[in-house]
Amino acid sequence: MSDELILEIVTPEKMAFTGSVEEVTIPGTEGEFGVLRGHEAFLTSVDIGELNFTKDGKKTYYAINTGFAEVTAEKVTVLIETAERSDGIDKDRAQRAKEKAESSLAQMAKENSEYERINLALIRAVTRIRVAEK
C-alpha cells in the first residue's frame, strides 16, 4: 500500500478518474513527466497530449486538453478541460477533424488569427488518434 499514489482526474463534466495508481505520466507544458509516490510538491500547467497511468500493472491512456496538475507526495490532481479515455474515443470523428483542420491550414496564411486555433484543433485530433490506437 505504501507505494500507492492517489490520482484524481477532474474535468468540468465529471470526475474522469479517481483511485490509487502506481505511476502516472503527465504531458506538462515543460515536457512530459512521470510521478511516483513521494514526488516533491509542485504545480504545473498541462498541455494537450496523452496522459497515462499504471494501475495493477496495466496502463490506461487518456487524451487530454489543457489544464494543470497539482502534485503532492501522496496525491496528484489533474484539472483539465476535457479528458477522453482511449476506448471512448471516436476515431473516425477524430480522423475527419484532422483532415478538415489540415485542409483549412493548407490554404491559410500563418498570420491569420484563425491559424493558431485550427492548429490547436489539429493537434487535438492527432493526439486523439494516437491515444485511440493504444
- Report if residue 77 touches other proteins, rule: CB under 8 A: yes
Q: Could you tell me the end-to-end alpha-carbon distance of the chain, in angstroms, rounded to an integer?
A: 28
- Report if residue 43 touches other proteins, rule: CB under 8 A: yes
| Per-residue binding letters, 49-68, with other proteins (x by CB under 8 A) | ----------------xxxx
- Report if residue 6 touches other proteins, rule: CB under 8 A: no
- Position among 29, 87, 102, 108 found at the interface with other proteins (CB under 8 A): 29
Q: Which of residues 97-116 bind other proteins (CB under 8 A)?
A: 113
DSSP string, 36-90: -TTPPPEEEEE-SEEEEEEETTEEEEEEE-SEEEEE-SSEEEEEES-EEEGGG--
What backbone phi and psi angles, to 5 degrees, belong to 70? -115, 120
- Report if residue 40 touches other proteins, rule: CB under 8 A: yes
